[in-house]
Structure 1
Amino acid sequence: MTETTTLPDIVSQDEWQIARDALLAEEKELTRAADAVAAQRRRLPMVRFDAGYEFEGPQGRVSLLDLFEGRRQLIVYHFMLAPGQEAGCPGCSFLVDNIGHLAHLHARDTTLSVVAPATLPEIERYKERMGWTVPWVSTRDGFNADCGIDGGFGVSVFLRDGDDVFRTYFTTARGGDQLVGTLRYLDLTPLGRQEAWEESSRGTDGPGHWWKRHDEY
């Protein structure tokens, strides 16, 4: 952020309330629009997916079906950590830092797992550095490629019906923003994310360019 950042106007309490009420109307409209998109997302058709992909986890070899841990839904975060890399992608690390307590997902019959093509020892070393306990497995049998991941990141959602697995959703790029609580908090503030795309006076950072691993700030 530069020192020339334009600050909000200073107004009276009454003027502020009028402006706040006007914005609230727009926020409610946005909420309703987001709810409508979420409903469309739930109605997306699904595609049958091979349940036998193999991963390596702390307990040994597991299948895609095993990753559900008996629950009906599975969210997979495709993390950018390749074999031979000592540290994961800063953006992916930022996102994983923002994963909440998994008990809340489990309460709605949903499991979350992180996958990466790095070896399990490499994953475990990076998890220890970051202080993470999120479930994370190694994949190197084409799973990422079959999910449309070519060296990048993404989020895949699966539904289990008995032993049959279906893929229902995928997003990447700024679609991952919706999973990062830190960004939601910054969006409430007058200075925002302090990225150039917001307003020209906010800085020169592109989306995500300021993100670092939490032990590197």
Structure 2
Amino acid sequence: MTPSAENERKGGQTAMHTPPVVSREAWEAAREQLLVKEKAHTRARDALAAERRRMPWMAVEPAYAFEGPAGKASLLDLFDGRRQLIVYRAFFEPGVFGWPDHACRGCSMVADQVAHVAHLNARDTTLVFVSRAPQADIARLKARMGWDMPWFTVTDSFDADFGVDEWHGTNVFYRDGDHVFRTYFINNRGDEQMGNTWNYLDITPLGRQEVWEDSPERYPQTPTYKWWNWHDSYVADAAPDKKWVEVSDAGEAAFRNQQPAAKP
């Protein structure tokens, strides 16, 4: 009996037109057929990220000002000493539905999905949220919702200047000394995939910084997997853990041995 038929037998209100139920062999064949398209999608996504790393940059001239937990902060301060900065404009301010107890529902879903920022920090990248709500309200909201990402208050035209005054959006910046450049922007449905460490890194100018990536010449890159760590164990400039390097090397070797031989 199909799931739809079972639903009808039990008096379900609407019978869903579900796919057929097949044997293990047929299921595996269908999965392999779809996997071909999924692998193509992955390669296309990687190629798009490589093209993104070659986008032109825009110099940021105004001295934007924010309020943070420690007081006034500049756009440079938001980098927290790192080279890359990702800024998500979250709607939490008077007039937004849910104020003052909640931020925008969509922005709150984005915040709920943010992975531990230590992994981004390990790739010389800082993630911050910004809103127009005062710091006291932001601190209360973060405590209530269990959010840990840095969150600053916009005090000038930053949101309007970077396309996020009336809707959410994610801007990416790069710091070269005291010079700041805008390198990328994504909004609307593009924001819904954000939260994952890899998706964040894929929109930055330096990318994941792993050796397999197609990046411009002399961009920083390290061996794949080797920089990964527990989020409470990253130490600046520390060498990769020897045991982890051995484990990841063994895993890579096993993966290569499972792949079909290349055709001559």
TM-score range, shorter chain: 0.7 to 0.9
1:126 maps onto 2:137 in alignment? no
After TM superposition, where is structure 1 displaced by more than 3 Å over at least 4 residues in a row? none
Select which of 165, 169, 174 maps to 2:189.
174
TM-score, normalised on structure 1? 0.79
Counterpart in the other structure of 1:49: 60
Match of 2:109 among 87, 90, 94: 94
- 2:176 is aligned, of 150, 161, 166, to 161
Q: What CA deviation, in whole Å up to 9, does each residue of 1:53-106 have, x standing for no partner?
A: 111010000100000011000000000112363121111100111111111001
Higher relative contact order (CA 8 A, sep 6+): 1
Is there any run of 5+ residues in structure 1 with no aligned partner, and where? 185-217
Match 1:142 to one of 144, 151, 157: 157
For the pair 1:58 / 2:73, whether they are aligned, the reply is: no
Over 3 Å counting, the alpha-carbon distance change for 1:77 and 1:137 in structure 2 is: same
Match of 2:126 in 1: 111
Q: Which has the larger radius of gyration?
A: 2
The question of whether the paired residues in 2 share the 8 Å contact of 1:51 and 1:63 is answered with: no
One-letter amino acid of the structure 2 residue matched with residue 88 of structure 1 = A
Contact 2:115 2:195 in 1 (8 A): no
* SS in structure 1 at match of 2:44: helix
User: What is the DSSP-based 3-state SS (H/G/I as helix, E as strand, rest coil) of the residue aligned with 2:114?
Assistant: coil
Asked if structure 1 preserves the Cα contact closer than 8 Å seen for 2:67 and 2:155, the reply is no
Output the amino acid matched with 2:121.
Answer: H
Q: Quick one: structure 1 residues 139 and 21, their matched pair in 2 at CA, closer, same or farther if it must change by over 3 Å? A: same
Aligned partner of 2:5 in structure 1 is none
Does the aligned pair in 2 maintain the 1:76–1:156 contact within 8 Å? yes
1:129 deviates by 1.5
Q: How many residues align?
A: 181
Between 1:146-155 and 1:69-78, the stretch displaced more is: 146-155
Amino acid at match of 2:126: T
Root mean square deviation of aligned Cα: 1.7
Please, what TM-score do these two structures have when normalized by structure 2? 0.66
Amino acid paired to 2:21? I
Distance in 2 (alpha carbons) for counterparts of 1:20 and 1:48: 47
